[in-house]
Structure 1
Amino acid sequence: MRTRLVAMTAMPLAYLFCTFVWYAYQSRLAEVREEMAERGPLVAKVLADSSEFSVVARRYDDLKLTINGLLRADPSIYRIDVLDAQRRALVQATARAPASAAELRYYEAPVLKRLMWVSVLGPDGKPYQKDKPAGASGVTVETMGYVRVTMSPSALLLRQTRRFYVELAVGSLGLLACVLLAWQLAKGLDASLQASMRALREADDEKRRLIRKVNTAVEDERQSIALEIHDELNATLIAVRLEAQRIADLNPEGETRARAQSITKLALGLYNSGRSLVRRLRPEVLDMLGLDGAVEELVRHYDSARGGCRFELQAQGDFSRMEKTLPSPRIASCRRRWPTSSSMRAPRTRR
């Protein structure tokens, strides 16, 4: 019962714990993907905007210093490539930490050159248009190259893994506390059930003692009544019979003899009824032969009274050591033997 109660309590908790762990793990992975998807384009865009002057002025050393500083500041960035308009490499910088190619994510942003055209009047009063493209006016945008940022989720995963381990430890402590609480509750319930069972057993033992005492009292009373009938009533009936026989002998003829013989018959009938009543109350063969002899006599009576089958008694043990207060002792088994040629045995009965 205690094991079942603990299982009934722990199984839903274990399911909730596994669900919580799975949800926490998936949520941490989703946070890593969302953070990379948000930071990657933003870093590429900011770096492309800040690299415009360096690319136009071809100051690649300053650009490389900026990129290296960004790599050291952000461990989630694995590699930064600055490409020209034909996607040829101008500047490359890679982080020292190795990364798997399967987990790398690429984000790219163009390096744009913005030109603002202003109309300037020449000495002759006409607009100065040297090197100005035909039809150009206002601001023009030209793609000078590209900035490609390669990000690795290893650093982000490591940080999220630490948070996940903290959540896992807290969840495990909660699960352990719930299991211990369930164990204590089951233990207390088991103790109460054990106490109830002991009380029921004690009540059952007390009931058995009372039944045994009642059976003993009833059996003693039956024996006492049987002895009174046998010793007093039957003795009186025998005396009445003898007196009636004497009266019949004194008057061989006449109505007195007939009346005496009628009294003798009535006394004999009452005597037989008393003997039958005594056997029903307390078979005298029990006191004369004991329990084993009484059962053997009973089987012999059935065997002689019924010719269609035969009975035999097989008893084991010493019946004299049995307590007289036993309510229903199993004392012997009788096996029927049918007068046929078949080897089939009849079912055993208990008496």
Structure 2
Amino acid sequence: MTGFALGAEQEEWCGQLRALAADRLRPLADKGEPGRVNRPLLAALGELGLLERVFTSGALELCLLRESLAYGCTEAETALALQGLGAHPVLASGTPEQRARWLPQVRAGRAVAAFALSEPGAGSDAAALALEAVPEGGAGRSGAEGAPAAAAAGGGWRLSGEKCWISNAPEADFYTVFARTGEGPAAKGVTAFLVPADRPGLSGEPLDMLSPHPIGRLTFDGVPVGPQDLLGQPGGGFRVAMDTLNRFRPSVGAFAVGMARAALDATLAHTAARRAFGGVLGDLQAVGHRVAEMATRTEAARLLVYAAAGAYDAGSPDVPRRSAMAKLLATETAQYVVDHAVQLHGAIALQRGHLLEHLYREVRAPRIYEGASEVQRTIIAKELYR
């Protein structure tokens, strides 16, 4: 790739993915029940080898995959991305036993993964987690001095508290869970665990959200976890979380770019054909200028997403800043483009089942999850002043 223009093979692959999303995955998505895990769709993603690509692709290829699927089937894109988000910590920080147990099932679309970070009082402020990991035999979060190390060496912990707004909950088969073990203050005292859904004391309930996939609340009532459930080291959970988010944030931007491009293409087709005022809508300067602005912003977002992914693949030290910029610009741009696409289509775009009615519902959430736009601006500012 030169100057962030895709090569012929990349363009061909993206075209194949868009066609696959529309022809093979869209029908499966349409048969799914809103707010429930679509397991036939996940199985198809596994059979087509697309879930495997989530774990073997570089960041740029992951962006192309998510953008292309989002163009033709946002539900397929989201299902794929959530598998990656929930299982990437296992790939990056799990034990050989954990990887062997779960990753083949995730890649095949047979096991559903979830990333359980957010809490009722700790959404964007991930360092403020309150879910307690109390050492077995300990008295509480603070416990006795050296209790976390003793737990790691021996009996383990009991998880107590809540997680909220967790994608794929309560239907996931396992959760990457971040809890406070107390090795240090704030982010330094967080540990990551792999918690199977059938672990005693773990329960969940769905939340009625503006989302086609399940989002739920998890309750941990003394859920037992041991050294064999650790993802990384005690006290190293915040790094596990941030490494995962830094990898996926540019591709959240790619998801947004895919939606923006779908909305833009629909708008071009509509305004070129819709007759009004003695011509077509596209002849009106106000319409043409608005479409030009939509196209320019979409292209700028696409280039920034690709640049952030390229920086990640190159091991650049400025990945946090670039990832935050890419997610910020792309998700805000997608909101702008979809909103103006609806305006230029008029009332038909609000009809249930219309592409833009669907995109209008889908496009709002990415400005919040994996770090709201305000959090991305804070990250960018901190990195600039560092």
TM-score when normalising by structure 1:
0.19
Larger-gyration structure (1/2): 1
TM-score (normalizing by structure 2) = 0.17
